Structure 1
Amino acid sequence: MSQSVQVLEPEGIIDTSGGNKIRSGVNTFLDLGAKWILIDLKNITFMDSAGLRAIVAIQQLVRAKGAKLYLCSLEDQLQIALELAKMENFFEILPDRAAFDRLLEN
């Protein structure tokens, strides 16, 4: 995988602290020249409103840098949270990592 493609696999809860960790990781990827960033959420058990705000801010940061952000492997609670906030169309959401890999092949 080239530096233009980066994957982040956070674990646990996305709250203020978890969101800050993700933001830091994404900033590092952008500094390395990433153009496609995947946040694989398979190991996330919960996201609160602060976490949702962090993910939105990360999406805005990535777009401002001319890169693309993808989310994958959202468990039901995360998907519902995005839908309730009417944010599911704000993100590129993929079912899993394999879908991201296929996207890159095209």
Structure 2
Amino acid sequence: MKATVTHRKIGQVDTVAIAGRLTAAEAPAVRQEILQVLERGDARLVLDLPEMTFCDSSGLSVLISALKAARGSGGNVSLAGLTPAVRALIELTRLQQVFEIFDDAEVAAARMG
């Protein structure tokens, strides 16, 4: 299943949910959608990932691109709802030292809000 992206607001914080597989094939389109959300918003973003079933290195680059764009505008990106497989990848690559990680998007948004 290819990646699908949905955007919503929790309070004043933009939340983007990514579902399915985030691989090299989907990465450019997903990156573009996330960057558009960041450009329209205030650079505070929660990436809600409980439905993301797989992520490869291209997918990780999408997450890092979002973080760089947000921080460049004075904001930040948090990750929420990681599946065990995605959490293992984040920890393997030590990205938990870069991203704040929360169990769910509502908690992440409240912390950012």
Spell out structure 1 runs of 4+ moving beyond 3 A.
Answer: 1-4
Q: Using the alignment, how far apart are the partners of 2:62 and 2:48 within structure 1?
A: 15
Mark the CA change 1:93 to 1:26 in structure 2 (over 3 Å): closer, same or farther: same
- Identify the residue that residue 97 of structure 2 maps to in structure 1: 89
Whether 1:45 and 2:53 are equivalent positions in the alignment is yes
Whether 1:35 and 2:43 are equivalent positions in the alignment is yes
**TM-score by structure 2 length?**
0.79
Q: Is the 8 A contact 1:8 1:25 kept in 2?
A: no
Q: Is the 8 A contact 2:38 2:44 kept in 1?
A: no
Q: Using the alignment, how far apart are the partners of 1:4 and 1:102 within structure 2?
A: 9
- Identify the residue that residue 18 of structure 1 maps to in structure 2: 26
Shift in Å, 1:39: 0.8
SS in 1 for 2:31: helix
Q: Using the alignment, how far apart are the partners of 1:24 and 1:64 within structure 2?
A: 16
Q: Using the alignment, how far apart are the partners of 1:10 and 1:21 within structure 2?
A: 12
RMSD: 2.1
Q: Identity rate of aligned residues, in percent?
A: 22
Q: Which runs of 5+ in 2 are unaligned?
A: 1-8
- Identify the residue that residue 70 of structure 1 maps to in structure 2: 78
Kindly tell me the number of residue pairs found equivalent between the two proteins.
Answer: 105
